[in-house]
Structure formats: structure tokens, C-alpha cells
Structure 1
């Protein structure tokens, strides 16, 4: 997915099987200050391009047809930087480019709506199945493969999440993983291994309806809500699957982590 690399989209069938995506780019980035005082975190440079650009390039390479980017803090900079299309094809042929739409939470409500609130707000712009990724995570080896969409769509799962080895800043991890590929909401006293949620997932819109979520579709009231409680409820019902991602992954949450990425 690096600049100049060939696309890994193989067939028109792959493009037809793809799902839209939502990239989360609304956060204030408090731990990144002062870098984020005047620049939104997704626009900070990582190895020669904005952090958000790595996901956009991977989505474009995978044949994802359209992406929604949610914004709040300095969101106008994000839409100004990327516009309404992204891709290597000439601008005159936008059919082969990744279409970008924005869900401007800051403009609509004055602040970010957290992850579940932001997803619920953007839901009318997405479809019944969609990719999710956080715009402040660097995962250059991840491929948004159409085959994963096909497997997920054929399953009964409400979510499929990718788990990574626990980084130093999250040593206890988030969720367990069963031998048959189910994500586990482990009790705090469990000795079973936990892994960290990568923030990359395939989701069904149904996860944001009752009984899993009580936010009105489209979130017209601007309810702010986290995603983890919804995932945990669905895990307890056996409706979340998972797999491990072993490629490069960094939660770019501090200036030190950003500097380390740019030194490698």
C-alpha cells in the first residue's frame, strides 16, 4: 500500500464485494499537545504523509468505493486536505477513486460524539456492513480485503475485530480470543490472555440498534457514547468474532510515539 506500490485489488468481483468505511478523526488529541493545538492529529505527518492518508491509501488500493470521515477538532482542515476523492487515478476519472464524505460532528454539535455516538451519527451514510478504523492508528500492513467482507457478511456476527499484541501503554489488553475465533469479554480476574483492540473492525449497522444500542438512528440529538460497552454486550451473546493482526501497528497517542515512527 506504500506510495507507488501496485494495487492488491485483483478483480472487479472484489470491488463489488467491498464495503464502505468509516474513519474516526474527530478526537482532540489532548495527549499530543502542543502538536495538535493547531493541527488535527490525523494530519500529523508519519513517514512523509498525513497519518490518515495511510488508511485512505489502503482503502483505495483495496477497491473500497467510499469512505466517511467523522471530524470535530479542526475538522475543516481534514476536509480541506483530502477533498471529496482520494486515489492514484487522474481526477478526471473519479469513478476509480475513493469517494470521501464527511460527518462534521464539531459543526453539528460543537464537539466529538465518541466512537459509538459518531458511528451512529454517520450510519445513514454507510451501509448494512462497513469497515471501521481509527484515524490515529498507523497500521501500514493491514489490508482491507474484500474476502474478509464476504466472510463477515455470511456470518451471524455483529462485529469482527482485529486484535494486536499488547503495547506498553495497554499491558492488560482489552479482549480475549477463543480457539474458534470468538472475541471474549473476560472477567477482570481471568487468567486467560487478553489482546488489544486494534481499532480496525468490520461492523453491522444492526449493532447500533436495540437491544445493543439505544441511540436514535442517525443520532440527531448528538449523544456521545463509547463503543466498548456495545461490543461487550455483543460478545456476551457470542456475536463478535476476532482474529489477530501481526503486522506493524502503533497507536500514535503521544509525541514520543510519533517521533519514534518517524525515526525508524
Structure 2
């Protein structure tokens, strides 16, 4: 399996007051930290290497990673002076990731689709794709409220941004991408949206539809919502 870059450098401002003293990836949902849920999902798919970026309360994430047992082998990518956002954080970590890799958020995860990561890796075709995004049907997304969706997807699997009408899929924060697309970029912080838009313009942004339930946990209230959904699905 490709290595995975876990984006864990956020400030967690919407999760306050919990994150006044705790980095958001270490917030527990159903008795397990979100970071462990994310890592375990990829370990169960066969991944052996993870890179995690840090910025806010990094010593806590470092200590937590050292205390984990077994896979994956974890390398930290500190962002000490400034937070580099999603794109900048990955760009900083490219020497640790190799040519092709997963990227995923540390505050969202999925259940009831154990094959998603393997299926994504099998589907990724670098000759045709710059990035392959894991997308979830809006009706299978927990924690998004009334969000009208992010992308539509044609029969070939190519993604397009939501237009005037709601779109059927949410971006889950998980993707496969090639290091070769990280060229001609700003110095310092930038969003992955820059690379999404470039890939859309060239017809090289594709999607893989999640079959399970996707959960994103951005606020204290969302913890309860996620735990309710997990109980209903029989996962806690």
C-alpha cells in the first residue's frame, strides 16, 4: 500500500473549549481518538508507513504516536513557524512520501467499507489522473449538516465542482495523488483546492465513491452526532 499523509496540524478552533488544551486529532469519539481511528483504518487496509504533520500542541501528538503499538511506522513533519495548510503541509512532507501516496484528514474517518483504501489504490491510474478523491454520498455523510455537497461525478469518474444546484457527493478529505503535481506552487501555505482546480481544468480529477458511512467531527456537538451514528451502525 502507498504511504499515507495524515493532516493533523489544524488549530481546532471550532472544537473549543475541548481544544484549548488538546489537539483536535486526539479528541475521542466513541472511546477512541480520531487520529487512532484514521491510522487504524489504513493499517487494516495494509498500510505500513504514515507521515503526520503537526503544529498546534505538537508534543501531545508526538507522545501519542510514540505510545502506539505496532503499525504503522510514523514519521512526523513539524510545522513550527507557521501552519502550511493542506497543500503546503503535503509539499513540505514530499521527501518523506515518495512518488504516490494517500492524503487524509485527522478529524474524519469512515466505517462499513473496509475495502475503500485498497479499491482506491487499485483504481488510481497516474497516466490519466492527477488525483483520485474519496467522495461520500451526501446521505451517507455525518457531521456536514445541510451542506449541499462538493462534487458531481460523470460516468467516467471525473469530478466537477458543485454549481448552482446541490451536488451529490462530499469530499471526505482522503485522496491518492502523485508528487509530480506539486509544481509551480506558492511558497508557504496553500490549499489543496489549488491542485483540485488544476486537475479539473485538465480533466484529471477523479472520484471513488465510498460505500460505507463517512463521519467528520469538527465541533463538540458533532462528537455526539458521530457517536450516535456509530452506535446505530453497530460500530461502538
Asked if Structure 1 and Structure 2 have the same fold, meaning a TM-score greater than 0.5 normalized by the shorter chain, the answer is yes
Q: Deviations over 1:189-248 (max 9, x none)?
A: 3x47342111011111112113xxx14xxxxx6x01111121011111111110221312
Q: Deviations over 1:85-135 (max 9, x none)?
A: 643xxxxxxxxx310000111x2x2x3211001010111100111011100
Task: Name the structure where strand makes up a greater proportion of residues.
Answer: 2
Match of 2:100 in 1: 129
TM, length-normalised to structure 1: 0.78
Select which of 125, 128, 131 maps to 1:159.
131
Q: Is this contact kept in 1: 2:112–2:212, CA < 8 A? A: yes
Task: Identify if the C-alpha distance between structure 1 residues 80 and 129 changes in structure 2 by more than 3 Å, giving closer, same or farther.
Answer: same
Match of 1:94 in 2: none
CA shift at 1:146, angstroms? 3.8
SS at match of 1:229: helix
Q: How does 1:236-247 map to 2 (within 5 A)?
A: 236-247=201-212
Q: Is this contact kept in 2: 1:62–1:145, CA < 8 A? A: yes
Of stretches 23-32 and 140-149 in structure 1, the one that deviates more from structure 2 is 140-149
SS at match of 2:98: coil
Task: Identify if the C-alpha distance between structure 1 residues 35 and 192 changes in structure 2 by more than 3 Å, giving closer, same or farther.
Answer: closer
Q: Is this contact kept in 2: 1:84–1:99, CA < 8 A? A: no
Match of 1:229 in 2: 194
Q: Is this contact kept in 1: 2:126–2:178, CA < 8 A? A: no
TM, length-normalised to structure 2: 0.87
Verify: 1:58 aligned to 2:41, yes or no.
yes
- CA distance in 2 between partners of 1:84 and 1:209 (Å): 36
Q: Which has the larger radius of gyration?
A: 1
Q: How does 1:28-177 map to 2 (within 5 A)?
A: 28-83=11-66, 86-87=69-70, 97-105=71-79, 107=80, 109=81, 111-143=82-114, 145-153=117-125, 155-166=127-138, 168-169=144-145, 171-177=147-153
SS at match of 2:175: strand
- CA distance in 1 between partners of 2:167 and 2:117 (Å): 27
SS at match of 1:36: helix
Q: Which runs of 5+ in 1 are unaligned?
A: 1-17, 88-96, 216-220
Select which of 178, 195, 203 maps to 2:177.
203
After the TM superposition, list the runs of 4 or more consecutive aligned residues in structure 1 that deviate by more than 6 angstroms: none
Considering only aligned residues, what root-mean-square deviation do their CA atoms show, in Å?
2.0
Match of 2:234 in 1: none
